[in-house]
Structure 1
Amino acid sequence: MYLVHAQLRSHDATAPPDALAQMLSCCAQDARLEHVTVHDEDEGRVVVGLFLTAADLDHAELAARRTCRRALTDHRELAGFTLDRCGAAMEPGYWDRLLDESAPGRIVPLQNPSKGHPFQPF
């Protein structure tokens, strides 16, 4: 399952409709959308989290974009909104923490190929 964030923006700072999650859900069609969360930001901006089951991240992001565009087109309550961005959010520093041997809670030990370890993460 993939979490894709979409940011919608109102041209006149209008708050999103209360039924935004349901509007997106009914526009998912073949997107394999599992769950939708809505988080108000500021001045007419809202971030929508779309949890999708997909073959890979590219397909999940494409399905999320299509779902959002369809909702913006099909629901007149969203007429003043645009899709600013849509994509999976990457946690800053995640991969660096995995490689840091001194980091607490390390989940991937570094392998040293010269010591005969079969797996090499780099």
Structure 2
Amino acid sequence: MQALQSKKEIVGMTGDGVNDAPALKQADVGVAMGIKGTEVTKEAADMVLTDDNFATIASAVREGRRVYDNLKKTILFVMPTNLAQGLLIVIALLAGNVLPLTPVLILWDEHGHFRHAVVWSGV
């Protein structure tokens, strides 16, 4: 484990016994078995498999990657208009005008972004 971590690799470890607890703590991701695992192992782990099924790990990784991908898409979708709003407000203030967008209008605009981002990301 130390050899892989020294090469900047991400290391995962699964275990169910007390002897696995130190390795679970050292691993980047420690996974304990929920049914067969000891309490010490569950406390040392980052994640506990409630069904003791290794396929659950793969499913959790897929779900995490999907969530991360959707977050990136949402940020890329919302950022350009937020920057445009900020620029519009700064220009208006520098020109001595009143705020071009009220806080209520900004909230309504953000609500629309969220609704479109959810549809766009396929959630």
| TM above 0.5 | no
Q: Higher strand fraction: Structure 1 or Structure 2? A: 1
Q: Higher helix fraction: Structure 1 or Structure 2? A: 2
Q: TM-score, normalised by structure 1?
A: 0.28
Q: Kindly indicate whether structure 1 or structure 2 has the higher relative contact order, using CA contacts under 8 Å at least 6 residues apart.
A: 1
Q: TM-score, normalised by structure 2?
A: 0.28
Q: Look at both structures and tell me which one has the larger radius of gyration over its CA atoms.
A: 2
